[in-house]
């Protein structure tokens, strides 16, 4: 029995999934549905939209992300892992992922209506995860997310560091060790309409990390972070 020849649209979608997700679709129907927004179809065909796949993909992505973070950061507490997972799977980041992947290349929607395309891309991204799960199962979906999405588009160390108040952590660290801590302002300059502050950390009159930033607060955070790196203590924070 001969297989039905793929249409031009199906081939385009097939190549897109293969190049962006590293996955070879078996049933292209799942993926056609995943890229179809409800604005593109008639009311009588509303069950063909990607909303149900989006719901499924959201749950699968949440589960795989939680497992990945649990194994990748064995020293991180529940609070840090929860915040990091939220940063990854929140609506804003999913929309950004959808945009970076370029989902609008294949997205089907009514462009005559006023629609936020970034939101549609984020929703379609989740729907595509749901499609991969239905088409290939949990393990293949896990491989796609970890090896293609996480490696290409996410910097976990940076995301974790964004959650850390390095200055407060350094004060606590010094208090525990009964050390004197100071943040010294080395310079403040106004260039091209912007301020730049240069701060250096001093512990027991010994100079450590330096940091620059558009405000004293940012410069102090950067100086504290560099101090932890110089002390070899950066990973106790994560």
Report yes or no: 159 and 148 within 8 Å, Cβ to Cβ: no
- Residue 17's pLDDT is 97
- Distance, in Å, from the CA atom of 190 to the CA atom of 117, rounded to the nearest integer, reads 39
Q: Please give the radius of gyration of the chain, using alpha carbons only, rounded to the nearest integer.
A: 24
| 209-231 residue pLDDT tens | 999 999 999 999 999 999 988 88
Report yes or no: 84 and 156 within 8 Å, Cβ to Cβ: yes
- Residue 81's pLDDT is 87
End-to-end CA distance of the chain: 57
Mean pLDDT of the chain: 89
Residue of 118, 128, 114 whose CA lies nearest to 35: 128
- Distance, in Å, from the CA atom of 115 to the CA atom of 15, rounded to the nearest integer, reads 26
Three-class DSSP category at 108: strand
For residues 159-170, give the mean pLDDT: 79
Q: pLDDT grade, residue 1 (50/70/90)? A: very low
- Residue 20's pLDDT is 95
Report yes or no: 119 and 18 within 8 Å, Cβ to Cβ: no
Phi, psi of 26 (to 5 degrees): -95, -50
Domains of the chain: 8-162 (1.10.1520.10), 166-237 (3.30.160.20)
Q: What angle do CA 30, 145, 65 make, to 5 degrees?
A: 115
Active-site positions read: 58, 126
Residues in contact with 69: Cβ distance below 8 Å, sequence separation at least 6, in sequence order: 76, 81, 84, 85, 156
Strands of 206-213's sheet in order across: 181-191, 194-203, 206-213
């Amino acid at each position: 029995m001969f297989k039905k020849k793929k249409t031009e649209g199906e081939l385009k979608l097939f190549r897109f999934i293969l190049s962006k997700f590293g996955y070879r679709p078996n049933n292209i129907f799942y993926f056609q549905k995943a890229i179809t927004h409800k604005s593109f179809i008639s009311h009588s065909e509303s069950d063909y939209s990607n909303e149900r796949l989006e719901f499924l993909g959201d749950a699968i992505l949440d589960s795989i992300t939680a497992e990945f973070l649990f194994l990748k950061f064995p020293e991180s507490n529940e609070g840090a892992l929860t915040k990091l997972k939220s940063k990854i799977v929140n609506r804003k980041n999913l929309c950004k992922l959808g945009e970076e992947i370029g989902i609008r290349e294949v997205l089907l929607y009514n462009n005559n209506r006023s629609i936020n395309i970034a939101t549609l891309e984020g929703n379609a991204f989740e729907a595509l995860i749901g499609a991969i799960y239905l088409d290939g199962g949990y393990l293949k979906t896990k491989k796609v997310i970890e090896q293609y999405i996480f490696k290409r588009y996410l910097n976990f160390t940076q995301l974790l560091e964004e959650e850390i108040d390095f200055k407060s952590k350094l004060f606590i660290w010094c208090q525990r060790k009964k050390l004197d801590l100071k943040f010294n302002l080395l310079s403040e300059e106004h260039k091209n309409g912007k301020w730049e502050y240069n701060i250096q950390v001093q512990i027991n009159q010994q100079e450590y990390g330096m940091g620059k930033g558009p405000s004293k607060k940012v410069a102090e955070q950067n100086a504290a972070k560099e101090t932890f790196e110089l002390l070899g203590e950066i990973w106790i924070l994560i």
